[in-house]
Structures are given as C-alpha cells and as structure tokens.
C-alpha cells in the first residue's frame, strides 16, 4: 500500500519529488517501527495506539517537533488515501495531535547585501561564471523554488515578452516576468550553452549535464557566504529575499502570492512579519519613549 500511495502522489496528485521522497521516508520509518515493536510491517494494519507510541518514540529520540509534525502529516495523508480506497474503515491517525512549534520567520538578505552579491559576480567571461550569475538572477529575480529552477527548459523562456513559464507544485503553471538584467543575461547564457547540448534543461553543469539540487545548493552557498552571515545560505534564502523586498517596496500581497506560486494567502502572509519586525526596530531606534 505504501507503493500504491507513492504512485498516487507521483502520477495523480503530481506532488514534487521532494514531497514524494519525504513521504516515502516517513512511511518506511513507520513500517520499520511497527515491524520491530508490533510484529507487523503493514501500516494499514496499525491501530491508533501504535501510531501514538511511534510519535512518543520520536519525541524521546529528540527529533525536532517540526520534523515530527511532517511525519504526522505524511501518515495522515496515507490513511486518508487508504480510506478513500476502502482499504480501512477507520482512520487510526485521527487521534494524533501536532506538536507545538516555535514559528520561525523566513531569513532574508538585506537589499544592500543583494546589491553586493551581484557586484561580486558582475561581468563574468567564462561559461561557469555566466551560468552562476544566471542561477542567482533567476532565483532572486523571479523568486522561484529550487525544484522549479531545475524544471525550466530553454523553451520556457520568452525573450520577446520578457517572461518565464514556471512549472510549480502539483504541475501548476504560472508566468513570471523577467527582470531587466535577466532579459540581457539569458540570451548570452543561451548562446554559450549551445543548442547542441544533449538536454534542454536550462541550467547545466560545467560538463553539459543537467544540474541537480546539490549542485545548485553548493553554487548558491559559495556565493552567498561572501555577502551574508545568515545560517541559511540556500536557494530558498533568495526566494525569501525576493518576497520580502517586494513587500517592503509596496507590492500588493496578492500579487506576491501569484508570483511565488502559493495556493493560499496564508503562506504569503508570513513575509508581513518581517516587515512588522522592521517597523518595530525603526520605532525602537527613533521614538523618544522606546
């Protein structure tokens, strides 16, 4: 049933590769636990108490509450699938309660740090330099996710309308505008990339192979460590910076939601907290009674 659920996520729900891998890992961990403690390796046979004891075991191991909550979400989705398929009549995960977690604000790089970043990589001459610049400009200039960056094909770029077609979560498409620097840089990158490359994936390695997540993560970290001391130096840091800077400069929250590819406004509203924190600091620094 785990395999059937993963196939459902892959082919019907069209979940991201990251989500599928996480769900599969969580369910395999549950299966191993059940086999070790309850003499069954079939999660569809689990009772509520078995699931609760697994969550308690995870807590005793010191697993981060956020990670445990993700595992709870995974098994809830799994048992909802089993009920839909009439494999089970009662959902044993319904008694599980998510753990309280401390809300963490998205980390972002200040605008001066972003300006410094692009000054550092300005006017590269070789292919690797131009490719790195294209990656950073795309991540910050459009706010796309790492998975979305890696799914971009050369045909997704429309240099005439200065737009980019992005394939988001669950196969949802959106069109995002290209910045001025991107409109100038991408034709140069495409000409150096050469149409003879065996892949039409936009971002490729130095050897011409399709770029992969760890490759881009290392590339981004290498450049971000020159301009920020943030603990998180990842492609998502540039996405957070993109959204925060748009909001700080007066962009409409609903417009930012569409640009980021969020399905609901609640996911976008977290960026308003960064703006509020900035206002609090300004107030504290300037007000006589602060």
Within the chain, what is the greatest distance between any pair of CA atoms?
A: 68
Nearest-angstrom CA–CA distance, 2 and 23: 9
- Catalytic residue set: 145, 169, 236, 239, 262, 271
Structure letter (DSSP) for residue 90: S
User: In sequence order, what DSSP letters do the residues of 200-224 get, joined into one string?
Assistant: -BSSB-TTSSBP-HHHHHHHHHHHH
SS3 for 108? Answer: coil
Nearest-angstrom CA–CA distance, 170 and 168: 6
Nearest-angstrom CA–CA distance, 248 and 250: 6
CA distance to 156, 175, 201, per residue, from 162 (Å) = 11, 10, 19
Run of H or E including 31: helix 17-38
In the numeric block, the tokens 């981060």 are attached to 64
Nearest-angstrom CA–CA distance, 263 and 257: 8
């Amino acid at each position: 049933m785990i395999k059937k659920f993963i196939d459902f996520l892959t082919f019907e729900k069209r979940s991201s590769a990251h989500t599928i891998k996480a769900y599969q890992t969580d369910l395999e961990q549950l299966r191993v636990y059940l086999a070790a403690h309850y003499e069954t390796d079939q999660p569809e046979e689990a009772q509520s108490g078995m699931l609760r004891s697994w969550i308690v075991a995870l807590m005793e191991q010191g697993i981060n509450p956020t990670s445990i909550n993700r595992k709870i979400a995974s098994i809830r989705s799994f048992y909802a699938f089993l009920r839909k398929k009439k494999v089970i009549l009662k959902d044993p995960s319904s008694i599980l309660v998510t753990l309280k977690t401390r809300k963490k604000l998205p980390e972002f790089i200040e605008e001066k740090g972003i300006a410094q970043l692009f000054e550092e990589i300005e006017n590269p001459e070789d292919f690797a330099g131009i490719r790195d610049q294209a990656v950073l400009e795309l991540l910050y200039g459009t706010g796309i996710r790492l998975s979305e960056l890696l799914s971009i094909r050369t045909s997704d770029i429309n240099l005439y309308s200065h737009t980019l077609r992005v394939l988001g979560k669950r196969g949802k498409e959106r069109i995002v505008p290209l910045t001025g620097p991107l409109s100038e840089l991408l034709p140069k990158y495409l000409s150096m990339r050469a149409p003879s490359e065996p892949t039409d994936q936009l971002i490729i390695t130095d050897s011409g192979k399709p770029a992969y997540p760890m490759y881009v993560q290392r590339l981004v970290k290498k450049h971000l460590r020159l301009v920020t001391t943030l603990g998180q130096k990842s492609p998502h840091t540039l996405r957070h910076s993109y959204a925060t800077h748009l909001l700080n400069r007066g962009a409409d929250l609903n417009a930012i939601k569409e640009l980021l590819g969020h399905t609901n406004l609640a996911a976008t509203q977290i960026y308003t907290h960064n703006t509020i924190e900035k206002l609090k600091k300004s107030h504290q620094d300037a007000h006589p009674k602060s």
